[in-house]
């Protein structure tokens, strides 16, 4: 989804720190300043310093200030991006219409998708994709498993089966546990048929908005406490997911002490793993 461009080592290091929480970047800045400072301090007299030691000390002296600066810059970028993502997510959930998704740039859409997965306790890394029309845009990790995400910010067209096949092949090549294709539009019937029965989830605009309902739950009084719209495929009387607010579907436990019994499971699984006992129904 994203566009490739030439990057410097400075950019790469800053981006690497920016993927961490802001406090981790600040901690790295302090730690590298202290550690490099010990090497920058002269430990021998000028008559006994070897040329290699002098060169190393010169790099340590310069790095003592440059590396912490990069870490602090990355920490600041992490804070800015987190604020931007949260504001973007709140804007979409507040509007509750597809116009909010269609009106944003591909970069904003990618950030929004990443925030949606962060709300589901995934660790998200923006990989940059492989060009405007393909490539993996996000890499997710949770509980030791890796998931790949491809974003398609298409305003008018349906996402076809070729896109889904492409991601499935990348998943197999990288040994990913699962994958997601996310679009602001819709998917063709062929794409849905191909994904059915595979560890591949298709998330369209309405389902993405459902994932972002967790943002609205932070301020339940703003919108009158109304529950999110239900999935048309969910049975009548199904309760909202306690984790993300999406509609739930009936499932049967396949293992454990409750094997064979029915329960409510989130319709966005494995994006969200929220469950409810079967006795709980919609209010």
Is the confidence at residue 225, as pLDDT, over 60? no
Q: Compute the distance between CA of residue 147 and CA of residue 145 in angstroms, rounded to an integer.
A: 7
- Please report the pLDDT score of residue 184 as a whole number: 82
Q: What is the pLDDT of residues 64-95, one digit of tens each?
A: 888 889 999 988 988 887 787 777 777 766 66
The model's pTM: 0.57
Domain locations in the chain as residue ranges? 9-94, 105-213, 228-283
Of 42-46, 50-54, 149-153, 155-159, the poorest mean pLDDT is in 42-46
Asked whether the CA dihedral 242, 99, 190, 162 is positive or negative, the reply is negative
Asked if residue 270 has a cis previous peptide bond (ω within 30° of 0), the answer is: yes
Q: What is the pLDDT of residues 9-53, one digit of tens each?
A: 888 888 788 877 788 889 988 998 888 888 776 654 455 567 667
Question: Among residues 89, 76, 131, which one has the least CA distance to residue 219?
Answer: 89
Q: What is the pLDDT of residues 233-249, one digit of tens each?
A: 455 567 777 666 667 88
φ/ψ (deg, to 5) at 212: -80, -5
Domain 105-213 sits in CATH 3.30.70.100: no
Q: What is the pLDDT of residues 99-141, one digit of tens each?
A: 566 677 778 888 888 888 887 778 888 776 544 334 788 999 9
Contact 22, 78 (CB under 8 A): yes
- Please report the pLDDT score of residue 162 as a whole number: 92
φ/ψ (deg, to 5) at 263: -155, 165
- Please report the pLDDT score of residue 168 as a whole number: 92
What tokens does 250 get?
């009936």
What tokens does 208 get?
């993405």
Q: Compute the distance between CA of residue 224 and CA of residue 205 in angstroms, rounded to an integer.
A: 23
Contact 125, 110 (CB under 8 A): no
């Amino acid at each position: 989804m994203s566009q490739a461009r030439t990057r410097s080592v400075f950019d790469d290091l800053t981006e690497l720190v920016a993927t961490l929480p802001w406090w981790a970047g600040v901690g790295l800045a302090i730690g590298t300043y202290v550690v490099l400072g010990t090497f920058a301090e002269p430990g021998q007299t000028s008559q006994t310093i070897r040329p290699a030691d002098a060169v190393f000390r010169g790099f340590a002296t310069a790095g003592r200030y440059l590396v912490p600066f990069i870490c602090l810059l990355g920490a600041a970028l992490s804070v800015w991006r987190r604020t931007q993502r949260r504001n973007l997510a709140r804007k979409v959930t507040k509007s509750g219409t597809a116009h909010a998704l269609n009106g944003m740039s591909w970069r904003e859409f990618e950030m929004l998708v990443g925030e949606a997965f962060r709300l589901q306790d995934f660790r998200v890394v923006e990989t940059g994709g492989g060009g405007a029309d393909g490539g993996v845009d996000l890499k997710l990790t949770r509980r030791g498993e890796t998931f790949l995400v491809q974003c398609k910010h298409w305003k008018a067209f349906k996402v076809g089966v070729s896109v889904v096949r492409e991601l499935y092949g990348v998943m197999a090549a990288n040994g990913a546990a699962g994958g997601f294709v996310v679009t602001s539009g819709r998917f063709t019937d062929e794409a849905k048929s191909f994904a059915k029965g595979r560890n591949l989830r298709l998330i369209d605009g309405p389902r993405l908005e459902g994932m972002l309902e967790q943002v609205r739950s932070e301020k339940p009084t703003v919108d009158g406490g109304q529950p999110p719209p239900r999935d048309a495929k969910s049975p009548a009387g199904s309760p909202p997911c306690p984790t993300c607010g999406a509609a739930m579907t009936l499932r049967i436990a396949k293992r454990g002490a409750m094997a064979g019994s029915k329960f409510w499971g989130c319709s966005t699984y494995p994006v969200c793993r929220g469950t409810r006992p079967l006795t709980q129904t919609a209010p």
